Amino acid sequence: MAEKKVTFPYKFGTMIEIPRAAVTAGEIASVTEFFSFGTNDLTQMTFGYSRDDAERSFLVKYLEVDEKTKTSVLPFNPFQTIDREGVGRLMRMAVEEGRKTRPDLEVGICGEHGGDPDSIEFCHIIGNNYVSCSPFRVPVARLAAAHAVFKYSKGLESEK
């Protein structure tokens, strides 16, 4: 019996899960066709603490608003919504540097942030092509992605 050769299309890419990957994205893009941001790990590495430890102990305290100063250490849980100033800055840099090297680079996000409307909007702003999330978060993710496209295509808000 003769062997039958089977071919199928595929893309070669990588997860961007640590700060060094984000800051060397231009170099990485020279050998990849896509990036997928693993934002849970990227958040852990950027903040320097374990998600499990943080959410079970000190993170709750960091989110509490002090009655006297009306401030908190963190304005929101960075494991639920992307921290645009820190983690987001690394993501934006990676997208820009990656696309300088490979203009057709596909960029996406995977993980729990992929089901958060604010995080999805940010990913649209920085030029992501896709969102991957848990199955139960798909309806929210699709709606949030459509809302971001509509919001920014109609000039309702300037992209930051």
**Residue 125: Cβ within 10 Å count:** 18
pLDDT in tens, the chain (160 residues): 788 899 999 999 999 999 999 999 999 999 999 999 999 999 999 999 888 888 888 988 999 998 999 899 999 999 999 999 999 999 999 999 999 999 999 999 998 899 999 999 999 999 999 999 889 999 999 999 999 999 988 765 655 5
What is the model's pTM? 0.88
